[in-house]
Structure 1
Amino acid sequence: MKFLHLVATYLVLLVVLATFQDSVFAAAFGLVLAAVVVTVVVISGRRGLILLLPRTDHGPDHEQRRLRGSFRRQYRPDEPGRPMPRAPGSVVGAL
């Protein structure tokens, strides 16, 4: 029932195409009919086509998206240039 109007449209277009035999207009009409069919198939199956496209990931990967408490897990915590976490307490040599 969902695609009943599409089937009816196809049948009407095919009947019109059958009435114009052996003419240039029939060839042009056939091309238009093919374009309509392809367009409807693409639009109705758009979700499936999107899934076939290669996926590009943006943002952090799966491990970094998972939260640990209120913080994200660091990818390379001991990388040069990153501040290292310090234990709580008094800082030696501060005074």
Structure 2
Amino acid sequence: MPTIGPDRLEIQFIEVALAARGRKIGTQVVQMLAERHPDRRLFAYSQDGDRFWARLGWERFDHPEGDWRSLFIQPTRVVLASQS
């Protein structure tokens, strides 16, 4: 597992109602969190949401003992210099 540093932010729980799933609501919420906290690296322990986090492009890490929730870490952000 990579070091994610002291400026990290854990998403402890996110759930979208069954009737609203598939509309990118969860994706939008996570994107808004990332935009709101650009100086923080987000991570989440998944409970039955591995496909969701993987679709976001987050990296998965499994505990070596295998009987734990998967950890997903937001990819490092690429900051592009503005062109003047």
TM-score normalised by structure 2 residue count: 0.29
Determine which structure has greater relative contact order: mean sequence separation of CA pairs < 8 Å that are 6+ residues apart, divided by chain length: 2
Q: Which has the higher strand share?
A: 2
Q: Which has the higher helix share?
A: 1
